[in-house]
Structure 1
Amino acid sequence: MSTTMEGIQQGPVDAIDEGLYSRQLYVLGKTAMLAMSVSNVLIVGLKGLGAEIAKNVILAGVKSVTLHDRGHVEITDLSSQFYLNHSDVGKPRAQATVARLAELNSYVPVSVYDGDLTEAELLKYQVVVLTDVPLAEQLRINEITHRNNIKFIASDIRGLFGSVFNDFGEAFVVTDQTGEEPVSGMVAGISAEENGLVTCLEDHRHGLEDGDYVTFQEVQGMEALNGCEPRKVSVSGPYTFKIGDTSNLGNYKTGGIFTQVKQPKTLKFHSLKDSLKAPEFVYSDFAKFDRPTQLLIGFQALDAFKAKHSVLPLPRNEAHATEVFNNALAINAQSANPIDLDEKLIKELAFQARGDLTPMAAVIGGLVAQEVLKACSGKFCPIYQHLFFDSLESLPSSSALTEQSCRPQGTRYDGIIAVFGYDFFTKLTNARQFLVGAGAIGCEMLKNWAMLGLGSGPEGYIYVTDMDTIEKSNLNRQFLFRPKDVGRLKSECAASAVEAMNPDLRNKIKSFADRVGPDTENIFGDEFWEGLTGVTNALDNVDARKYVDRRCVYYRKSLLESGTLGTKGNTQVVLPGVTESYSSSNDPPEKSIPICTLKNFPNQIEHTIQWARDVFDGLFRGPAENVNMYLTQPNFVTTTLKEPGSAKETIESIHHMLVTDRPKSFEQCVAWARFKFQDYYHNQIAQLLYNFPVDAVTSTGTPFWSGPKRAPTKIVFDAEDPLHLDFIIAAANLYAFNFGLKGERDKKYFQTVLATIHVPEFQPKTGVKIQVQENENVQTQSTDASELEDLVKALPSPSSLPGYKLQPADFEKDDDSNFHIDFITAASNLRASNYNIANADRLKTKFIAGKIIPAIATTTALVTGLVCLELFKIIDGKTKIEDYKNGFINLALPFFGFSEPIAAPKFKYHETEWTLWDRFDIVGNLTLKQLIEKFKNDYELEITMLSSGVSMLYSFFMQKAKMQERLNMTIIELIESISKKPVPPHVKAIVLEVCVNDRTGEDVEVPYVRIVVR
């Protein structure tokens, strides 16, 4: 018998709602998504782990999800099952969960099956996932799935331990092992020899590895390589690689692009029965290399205990743990390759067996859900075949764990108390945590905190802030939100959602809609920060992360940092006085595209997309903003004329918008767009080819159009060409938007109007300079003062246009109706066509132009779980750096890497060591003279310079009269005197930077100064 949730949106198999799935599409690709959309998934077991897996799989967008769980809701289920509440206790677990899971994604039918799992039933599914299922039943079901080529996954969590097993059949094809974009590059030479050597352009590393395959295009002289069967690569250097025999292909002349071709890989999986005898492991932590073999036996021993007693061992019960260990000894003795069992580890597994922790469910549930998607699609390498994970380091060391301290309390938190004990649980409830961001990571974090009861105690509290509102594209991974929430504040919705999950948090969460930054220090001030237990970032930009990091260093608060990029995720622990801060290390800056490449010599689609993005701002945003400033700011022209570098462009843009190109009808917008097409894709290219003909050579005799320079061709406009028409439609509508004119979408209308427009033939001009080198300074045609004055005089006076205002088009990537991405896609692809560069579809263009971060719910869930495992350590008060772990994961490979955080670098003055966490703390509003004397008397340091922000308060080279005047002023008086504005009343302390000489007269680095003045 089964029940199905109604109201499901059904569409064609090849239809993917890009508005909903856009961020995930950039991770998985359309082919994988389509494969998922025809896959039926069965999930058995609906406790915390099963619900987490189901949530992530439903969000991802498979064809259907069927739930199976014959158990009834128990109070302890509420420790981790976020879709159950007190009123569900006693009800069938699957039936109580199904409606809430079905709300996640209207495209995925979610149903309950409560019959027997017979072979006939299992044949309905492409993937079967088992959680909290006895080993005997796992073996029975796996025998059926293996025989019928149904993908099988079994997984469990027991306290701080987790296990995963995969069996994807005897011939599972992995179509893309990494998910990375195929490597591509330009060829500088190919030798005609037995081991053909390919040389890349100078300073362009090929990025290939031994065993990769490549094919070629645009090679001249060895044309047989163009479109050839993929050739296996042997890397000989960062700029060279060999492709096998090329001796019979003629002689290389010029040109060529190589492209990596990904090869499918076939994996043979063994059944669970066979795999238990000869297991293959994926290691989740290389520092625990011996754990998997121990835990493989330990989980079987635990299953044997439950099979005998029908329950798991009691928390911290020595007799039960001893029985589990004896089971392990018996299983080990029957093994073909017995090992030395770790009694302490096996007993710890037994001690924690009744533990049920949301962070562990998040880690293993995110991991397993990604394995489900791999099973459906063949995208990325699956776990082969066993994986075990534990976080024993998260156990509290501040209090002894006993059977008494871990005994059940008859509450929703028993699954937590079973692992950590009641004393630590009390610490957890009294924590005061600040979550910065309520997006994907923020939603998952709040869910974990709510299930743990974090902040629910008498002294506890949760603060969350996010200034963003909910968009449709958020719903695919920010699982606390529903379609009805679109447009509402994320922080408010997220707080309300987790209060519903755990009513103990009512009146214990405060949501803000404020950015955390210098402009909100009156909101997030000293009292706020000093009252926190710690801070967790859930941000999506580096600048905000760095600001929060600085605040945490200043207030000496712990910071948990994390981020995701597709299937990749990272976590970082920042511990006061112990580790470096987030800002201590920076990613290298993004490599910028040279201006000459963008303007004249693109050779990649990324170049043309960036060019189109710049054109968008130059046509539809900047000029409209200039007009509005001209009409509203009386001194705008005068000020602009004082800036010779930009005056001409600014005044001309206003003149065009208000005089020469100001449309009065939409037809004129169409004509404007047609002339822009002619200018960009015909006239400018004609001028470029006039300056540098196709057969041009350099002063050294080499062809000008060689290497990265691709000779362009002019485009002749054709109103029947869809790409040409797309440009006109988008450009005309955007221009009409600037002027508040009603647009049009009908293609026949445009073709009719275009037929009436006459475009004059372009004649290239002599004397036009074109920038060829990046460092070359090409002067544009200058405009003398009289020409600019004439342009200004021709402008209508602002008084003649009272209330007139243009509408700038601020780029917005996620609104499919605003023509923004339509314009950039058409503009970029037309320019790519000029230069014979392969066009990009709308989705790829949106990804690059919008600088979209690929995202998927599976990675987010796993990363937040890892963060919470570190939060346990912080709340426990652990201070040893080796107790903590920074993590990096890549679910595509899959890869897990953990390391100790980096210690805070130490500095020294005199005999005193200090780190970034140290400072000079001084109380009282001292005068400048008193401060100088204090440093001399207390620290034997001579202040040579003193500053606050950008204000220099004191320096040894200051004029004597000014110095004397300042010495008797208090620090506040001095700052207010220089800045000409009062120190805000919320500021309780002043931060000063000092330069000092030590007792030997040498300049030394010292911490900053913090003076408490109020």
Structure 2
Amino acid sequence: MAINPIMMTNTDLVNSKIDLDTIDVSNLNRQFLFRKEHVGKSKALVAKESAQAFNPDANIIAHHGNIMVPEYGVDFFKKFNVVMNALDNRAARNHVNRMCLAADVPLIESGTAGYLGQVDVIKKGKTECYECQPKAAQKTFPGCTIRNTPSEPIHCIVWAKHLFNQLFGEDDPDQEVSPDTEDPEAAGDAGQSALSAEAEKDVAGGIKRKSTRVWSQEIGYDPAKLFNKFFRDDVKYLLSMENLWKKRRPPVAQDWNEVCQHSTETSLESESGLQDQRIWSMSECALMFGKSISQLKADLAARGDGGMLVWDKDDEAAMNFVTATANIRAHIYGIVTKSRFEIKSMAGNIIPAIATTNAIIAALIVMEGLKILSGNFEKCRNVFLTRQPNFRKRLLVPCTLNPPNPKCYVCCEKPEVVVKLNPKHVTVKILEDKILKGGLNMVAPDVEVDDGKGTILISSEEGETDDNHDKPLATFNIGDGTRLKCDDFLQAYEVVITIKEVEKLENEAEFEIVGDLESLLDQVAEKTDEQKKAESKNGVVAMEDEDVVMETTPTAGTKRKASQEIVSTPKKPRHDDDVIVL
């Protein structure tokens, strides 16, 4: 953990640490401040106590909270001399980046991924910001692959997580798990044959007329009926889409009674010490499917508020459900099955964390922070920790700081982007949630149409523009060339969006952000020779961001995203989920 700066001996220095997270058992293997007795407690508070055990004179203020709230606004960031990030999700990193730019406070980004690590120094007007280079998009898979034709374990794991949400979480239509009848590869025979008579008379017959969640509740989350719906009847329906199986192995439907006839309670309880490493048999998967559903049903009932469950890789029942479900689906499609340990790593996008790597990166953060605090910013460097020594036999490779990208849509003087979309189909809600918050990383956007009338399209004031949500943009005369003035008061960030009207986009996408964002791709190659050598000769690899299971927040005085990718290309490796500000 990048916690070391808290142990500085300067008693006049105020250190603040902000973290939304609590300590989990899985956190204990990659840092030195948490112990088993701390599990369940606030990371920020325990980190403060542990650091002060080393240096009781350290002035540390712990904040157990979310960095992306108004309480930690620009004025809060301005109180500090430097901000240090160690976040594990892109949304928080983007936010802290913008807060530090708005407050004109130097930011030290950091990240680790296995044996790799990176520290980056960011200062407004002098260096690239976190968003100066485009970040690789989160890996996604076509819906028809997930629903109809999985070919890899990860496809089955994504499907299993979607099924969890359909049954116990948010019933999101974008995470539908039933066969995709509009699969273009089916070339017309999808939907031509209805569900077989066998499926029609079974419990699955009504599922197509109501949500999975409602139907599951009506049958009392009966494991046998759920199993037969998803692993027998849906598979038989997929087999009726014959074009899908002309060049690939067809799936094999499974029946609950046949699979469970050899299962016993003791089979899952044997070899308990190796349980996570062992690959369960099909009968064991079916048994765990039923047990986990019963537990999750009880967890849902215990809420007593008609709410929903949120999938968490560290929740035993949720993880057992995904493991069993993914392996059953993998077996049906002839895909190799995985252990619970392997599935947990893939389902949570977990990059192994190594305590020594974290310690090295934490020390580098402190060294760069000391340069800033002593007024020697010109001596700051971006530093890569590589897996193999470079041609100079170095594992640590310092690189000069890159100047700001003049076309960055965040830190340039007048940020502008172009968005391709069909205003007849894209609603105001899609603009807010998927384009502004998802694509442009805003938190609480306000949008005004630049039409001379001051039409307010989106307001961050609760309820003020809710009536606009379901209206297509065309309703407000938004078309080709329309300019939208967008700002986020929390981030002190403004951007102008120019609409490029198109009838249809590739892959049936709802929108595409282009313009200056697209031109940033050309900037990736324009690096110093020193940086190129660090990347090409030293085994530096781009790492994917971890899924955001819980938001972490920076420490006092900082709103910035941590964990920059290990490469200087647009991905940031994960570090622990903390932000420290001095």
TM-score (norm 1): 0.35
Deviation string 1:324-344 (CA, Å, 9 cap, x unpaired) is xxxxxxxxxxxxxxxxxxxxx
CA contact (8 A) 2:167 2:216 kept: no
Q: What residue identity is the alignment partner of 2:234? A: Q
Match of 1:540 in 2: 88
Q: How does 1:925-940 map to 2 (within 5 A)?
A: none
Q: Report the counterpart of residue 601 of structure 1 in structure 2.
A: 149
Do residues 510 (structure 1) and 25 (structure 2) align? no
Match for residue 876 of structure 1? 374
One of 487, 492, 495 as aligned partner of 2:45: 492
Look up the match of 2:29: 476
Instruction: Work out the CA distance in 2 between the residues paired with 1:990 and 1:677.
Output: 50
Gaps of 5+ in 2: 174-206, 268-280, 416-443, 467-488, 498-515, 517-582
In structure 2, distance between residues paired with 1:594 and 1:915: 30
Tell me if 1:821 matches 2:319. Answer: yes
The total of aligned residue pairs comes to 390
Tell me, in whole angstroms, the C-alpha distance in 1 between the residues paired with 2:374 and 2:413.
23
Q: Which residue of 2 aligns with 1:859?
A: 357
**Residues 466, 877 of structure 1: alpha-carbon distance in 2 compared, 3 angstrom cutoff:** same
1:729 and 2:287 aligned: yes
Alignment partner for residue 812 of structure 1, among 306, 309, 312? 312
Over residues 673-701 of structure 1, what are the superposed CA-to-partner deviations in whole Å (9 max), with x where a residue is unaligned? 12332333333333333432xxx7x9xxx
Amino acid at match of 1:447: N
d(CA) in 2 for partners of 1:838, 1:449: 47
After the TM superposition, which residues 64-79 of structure 1 pair with which residues of structure 2 at under 5 Å, given as runs? none
5 Å-filtered alignment, 1:239-638, equals 441=1, 445-450=2-7, 452-454=8-10, 456-457=11-12, 460-505=13-58, 508-517=59-68, 520-521=69-70, 523-622=71-170
Distance 1:476 1:739, change over 3 A: closer
Equivalent residues of 1:740, 1:806 under 8 A apart: no
The CA distance in 1 between the partners of 2:170 and 2:313, in whole Å, is: 18
Q: Which residue of 2 aligns with 1:682?
A: 232
Deviation digits for residues 642-679 of structure 1, max 9, x if unmatched?
Answer: xxxxxx979544652454x13xxxxxx5xx21233233
Work out which of the residue numbers 821, 837, 846 in structure 1 matches 2:344.
Answer: 846
Q: Which residue number in structure 2 is paired with residue 720 of structure 1? A: 262
How far 1:710 sits from its partner (Å)?
Answer: 2.8
Report deviation, 1:917. Answer: 7.1
Cα distance, 1:608–1:482 mapped onto 2, change above 3 Å: same
Taking a change above 3 Å as real, the CA distance of residues 500 and 715 of structure 1, as seen in their structure-2 partners, is: same
Deviation (angstroms), 1:989: 12
Aligned to 2:249: 710
Q: Percent identity?
A: 26
Maintained 8 Å contact 2:4/2:363: no
* Conservation of the 8 A alpha-carbon contact between 1:536 and 1:559: yes
1:710 partner SS: coil
SS in 1 for 2:111: strand
Counterparts in 2 of 1:583 and 1:705: CA distance versus 1, 3 Å: same
Higher relative contact order structure (alpha carbons within 8 Å, sequence separation ≥ 6)? 2
SS at match of 2:157: helix
SS in 1 for 2:87: coil
Contact 2:102–2:492 (CA under 8 A) maintained in structure 1: no
Quick one: which amino acid aligns to residue 232 of structure 2?
H
Whether the 8 Å contact between 1:567 and 1:890 is mirrored in structure 2 is yes
CA distance in 1, matches of 2:410, 2:148: 50
- Report the Cα offset of residue 865 of structure 1: 1.4
Paired amino acid for 1:453: T
In the alignment, structure 1 residue 899 sits paired with structure 2 residue 428: no
Partner of 2:446: 950
1:619-639 C-alpha deviation (Å, 9 max, x unpaired)? 2324699xxxxxxxxxxxxxx
Alignment-mate amino acid for residue 685 of structure 1: V
For the residue of structure 2 that corresponds to 1:531, the secondary structure is: coil
Structure-2 change in CA distance of 1:524 and 1:488 (3 Å): same
1:841 Cα deviation after fit? 1.0
What is the aligned partner in structure 2 of residue 916 from structure 1? 411
The structure-2 alpha-carbon separation of the partners of 1:617 and 1:893, relative to structure 1 and needing over 3 Å to count, comes to farther
List per-residue Cα deviations over 1:40-69 (Å, max 9, x = no partner). Answer: xxxxxxxxxxxxxxxxxxxxxxxxxxxxxx
Structure 2 match to 1:740: 298
Deviation at 1:907, TM superposition (A): 7.6
3-state DSSP class of the match of 2:169?
Answer: helix
Aligned-pair RMSD on alpha carbons? Answer: 4.1
CA gap of 1:654–1:860, structure 2 versus 1, over 3 A, is closer
Q: Is residue 887 from structure 1 mapped to residue 383 from structure 2 by the alignment?
A: yes
**Superposed displacement of residue 570, structure 1:** 1.2
- The change in CA–CA distance for 1:622 and 1:890 in structure 2 (over 3 A counts) is same
The answer to whether the Cα contact below 8 Å between 1:469 and 1:489 also exists between their aligned partners in 2 is: yes
Q: Distance in 2 between matches of 1:862 and 1:622?
A: 40
| Contact 2:85/2:109 (8 A) holds in 1 | yes
Give the superposition deviation at 1:736: 3.2
- Deviations for 1:760-802, whole angstroms, at most 9, x for unmatched residues? xxxxxxxxxxxxxxxxxxxxxxxxxxxxxxxxxxxxxxxxxxx
Question: Are the aligned partners of 1:829 and 1:839 in contact in 2 as well (CA < 8 Å)?
Answer: yes
TM-score (norm 2): 0.59
Structure 1 letter corresponding to 2:262: E
Deviation at 1:550, TM superposition (A): 0.3
8 Å CA contact 2:313–2:348 kept in 1: the answer is yes
Cα-to-partner distance string for 1:197-222 (whole Å, 9 max, x where unaligned): xxxxxxxxxxxxxxxxxxxxxxxxxx
Aligned match of 2:478? none
The 3-state SS of whatever aligns with 1:582 is coil
